[in-house]
Structure 1
C-alpha cells in the first residue's frame, strides 16, 4: 500500500484519519484541517497511508510545535497512530523511519515525542519508541515522559519547560485547555459543558490560539488538559458518561 504526504490543497478533499465518518465531529475536523494548513507553512508534515484508515504520523520542527518543550533543532512528533487491522504490519516503523529521514535531511539533531510512562488512551506506546532507540530524557507529573532519539551527541538534551510541570490553574470548577490538533478535543466540549452545568459546576474551556500560548501551557500535553478546582486531572478526552462519573464521584469532593 502507498503512503502519501498531504498538501494544503489535498486537505480540502482528503481525510486526515481522525474521526472518520463521525458527523458530530465534522466541524472539529474542519478546524483541524485549517490548523494543519497554517502549520504546514512552518514545516509540519502529515504523512499517511493512502487508504481510508487511521495510519499516519504528524510532525514538525520543535521550535514551531505547540508543546511546552525546549528542543532546538529537533523534530517533534505530534502524533503517530496505527489502528485496527493495520496494527502489527510494520506501518508504525515505516512512519517513524520517514520522520527520521526527513529530520536528518533537514540537518536536525534528533526527534522528540511526549508520551506516558504507562499505557493510557491517546498517548503513544512507550515500548514502541524505546524499542526504536528513543530514551527518556525528562519527566513531568503525573505520568508524562519526554522521549528523545538523538544522533548528534553534542546537541543539548531536550527538556520540558518549567510551566509544563506546574499542573495547576487559578480557577475553580472544570477548566480545559486545548488545541485544534485533535478533533476529539474540541468535539467533546459541548457535552462536557452541559454535564458540568447540570451539576452547577463552573466550566471554562480555553483554546490555545498561538504556539507561544501553547509553549507556556501549565501541562506537558497541550492537545487536551483537564483541571478540576485548580488541579490537573487528566489528558483524556473522556466520553460524557465517564466525565459525569468523575464529577459525581471524587470530583465533587475536591
Structure 2
C-alpha cells in the first residue's frame, strides 16, 4: 500500500489535486470554488488528508464547533467525507484515513468523532457500515430516517440541532440549500437551473455562505439539501433529470 499521504495547508492548497473524480485539465469552477472555501476553513482546524496521487482517496473533517452542519456538541470532530474509489479501493486506504482521524482526535484530546448517516445508506454520505466497524453508534435520529453517528471517547455525545429536525420550509417551490464544500456543487446547481428553465419549474437556490446559516438550517445537511412543497427531500447533490422528475411528481 502506498503510504504517501499529505494534508492540505494554506501553502500547498493552490497546487494540490483535490482528490475528486472531476478530471478536467482546465480550471474547473467547482474545484476552484472548493479551494476558496477551504482557504478559510483550514485556518479553523479543518483537515483535508489525501493520498499523494491524482485519485480519489481522502478524508475531510473539522472541529464540530466550526463544521458547516446543524449539529451541536462540544469538542468533537465532524467527518464530512471519507472517500476511496477506483483502483485504490480495497487496499486499506479507508482504514488508514479513519485511523489517522482517530489518532488526531485523541492527540488533541477530543471527546469523539461524529458523522451524518441514515437507517438506509444514502448516496453522497460516507459508508456508515464501515464507520460502525470502528465503534461508531447512532446517537440521534430524525423522523425521516437520517442518523447521527458518533464514536465517543468520554461518554458525551453530540446531537442534531433542534432546527435540523424541522424538515420543513415555508417556500413550496423546489428549494435547494448549498455551500461550496464539494466540487460537484457548481455542476449540480447548473443542472438544476437548466432543467427548471427548460421546464418552467420555479426554483429557489439558497447559498449557505456562513457558519451561522449552516447551524440554523431546517434539515440535516452535509453541503446540500433539497425541499419540495415545503418538505425536505434529500441531501443527494447529484440531482439528475430522472431524480428531479421523481421529486417534482410528488
Q: TM-score, normalised by structure 1?
A: 0.92
Indicate how the Cα distance of structure 1 residues 25 and 121 shifts in structure 2: closer, same or farther if over 3 A, else same: farther
Name the structure 1 match of 2:28: 26
- Mapped to 2, the partners of 1:219 and 1:233 lie a distance apart of 10
Q: In structure 2, what is the Cα distance between the partners aligned to 1:241 and 1:169?
A: 23
Distance 1:217 1:25 in 2: 31
Distance 1:231 1:21 in 2: 35
Q: Residues 87-102 of structure 1 correspond to what in structure 2 (within 5 A)?
A: 87-102=89-104
Q: In the aligned structure 2, how far is the partner of 1:19 from the partner of 1:117?
A: 27
Once residues 210 and 185 of structure 1 are traced to their aligned partners in structure 2, the CA distance between those partners, rounded to angstroms, is 16
Question: Who is 1:159 aligned against?
Answer: 159
Bigger CA drift: 211-220 or 111-120? 111-120
Q: Secondary structure at the match of 1:120?
A: coil
> Using the alignment, how far apart are the partners of 2:222 and 2:77 within structure 1?
17
For residues 172 and 104 of structure 2, what CA distance do their matches in structure 1 show? 44
Runs of 4+ in 1 over 4 A off after TM superposition: none
Q: CA deviation at 1:66?
A: 0.3
Instruction: Decide whether aligned partners of structure 1 residues 24 and 50 sit closer, same or farther in structure 2, where only a CA change above 3 A counts.
Output: closer
SS in 2 for 1:41: helix
Partner of 1:240: 240
Identify which of 122, 138, 154 aligns with 2:124: 122
Mapping 1:151-230, distance limit 5 Å? 151-153=153-155, 156-230=156-230
Higher mean C-alpha displacement, 202-211 vs 11-20? 11-20
Secondary structure at the residue paired with 1:86? coil
Structure 2's unaligned 5+ residue stretches are: none
**CA distance change for structure 1 residues 141 and 85 in 2, over 3 Å: closer, same or farther?**
farther
Deviation at residue 12 of structure 1 after TM alignment = 0.6
Structure 1, unmatched stretches of 5+, are none
Q: How many residues are aligned here? A: 248
Closer/same/farther in 2, CA of residues 42 and 101 from structure 1, 3 Å limit: same
The residue that corresponds to 1:72 in the other structure is 74
Contact kept in structure 1, 2:195 and 2:241, CA below 8 Å: no
C-alpha root-mean-square deviation of aligned residues, in Å? 1.7
Higher helix share: 1
| Corresponding residue of 1:61 | 63
Q: What is the CA–CA distance in structure 1 between the aligned matches of 2:135 and 2:223, rounded to whole Å? A: 25
